[in-house]
Amino acid sequence: MSEQDENIRIEPSSEDVGKRLDAFLAEKVEGWSRSQLQKLIDGEDVLVNNGPARSSYKLRVGDVVDVELTSVEAARFEPENIPLDIVFEDDCLAVINKPAGMVVHPGAGVSSGTLANAIASHFKSVPPAVAGGVFSVGGEARSATAGGTDIHASANEHRVGIVHRLDKGTSGLIVVAKDVETQEALSAAFRERKVQKSYIALVHGDPRESSGTIDRPITRDRWHRTKMTAAANGRSAVTLWKVRERFEKFALLDVEIKTGRTHQIRVHLASINHPVVGDAVYNEGRDNSIANNEVKNAVQHLGRFFLHAARLAFDHPKTGKYLRFDQPLPPELAGFLKLL
């Protein structure tokens, strides 16, 4: 698939039977502390045999443990001088317009060229008021001067405060924290659903209704572990959609997510038979069935799926001021619409 795989699967050996789940993961997941992993377990980002479990769960023969790395608490990033489209920046945070094709942070098979590498370089210019130590989400490796806490440390100790993610193929707005306090406040805002996240998606088909709500749990696909699927045993997920414009055989939607599950919009829209255009993972070949050859060829050459994070709104963690950012479609998507 075109996505970066941000998940790992571990099958305990006979020697691991009887170990606590959190202790077992602390041994197996490099760079993550036991307390950080407990947070993932509590947030149901760790599944045992496709279901949630407690940190105290004792491993058994035949167990399969899946870990979704939904935070970058323990990640270290080398700074790389990669240009960024910065929509807003102050001493506490930055809002960035991420291009499609850029992975948010290093992971399986991806060690450089990511958004995390780019912001690690950019934030070298953080004002002295917040300079002076290691920055680690969750406070596991915090050090600071009297002036605050820095996002930078030694050459091999770069950590960045990414509090949410966009898929590699999704363009648009993403917010990054520049100090521990801001990261914690933003994480709480996302967790409490106080952040508005709105997207624009072009989907196959013409929905009968003008708007709708998709309330279907999402879990990892049992047979294809790099995919997600809508299933009753998954984690709760809610997506709102509204038709912005109708075309022959397609519809442009405004989409808002109330939760932030992996591939949520793509999975949910596919589950109502309106998959995202260009999404080879979830649209089951619908792109190949497009009757208009010009449009079909354009999809094949688009090099991405049609999903854009168009709006991000939240209260500033320090000032309390309401911030709203709107980002228009990138040229390749705006140009594609002209063909319809």
Q: Which residues are catalytic?
A: 167
CA dist 220 and 130 (Å) reads 39
> Hunting for tokens 């820095």 — which residue is that?
150
CA dist 84 and 96 (Å) reads 7
The 10 Å Cβ neighbour count of residue 339 is 12
Return the half-sphere exposure (C-beta side, CA atoms, 13 A cut-off) of residue 205. 14
Tokens encoding 278: 């260009």
Please calculate the CA angle 245-251-254 and round it to the nearest 5 degrees. Answer: 65
3-state helix, strand, coil in the chain (%, to 5): 20, 25, 50
Phi, psi of 256, deg, nearest 5: -125, 135
Secondary structure (3-state) at 156: coil
Is beta strand 238-247 parallel, antiparallel or unpaired with respect to 250-257? antiparallel
- Please answer whether residues 20 and 57 qualify as being in contact, where contact means their C-beta atoms are separated by less than 8 angstroms: yes
CA dist 136 and 131 (Å) reads 14
How distant is the alpha carbon of residue 281 from its chain centre? 17
CA dist 207 and 212 (Å) reads 10
Beta bridge partners of 48: 51, 65
CA dist 297 and 300 (Å) reads 5
* CA 279, 241, 5, 78 torsion-angle sign: positive
CA dist 286 and 109 (Å) reads 28
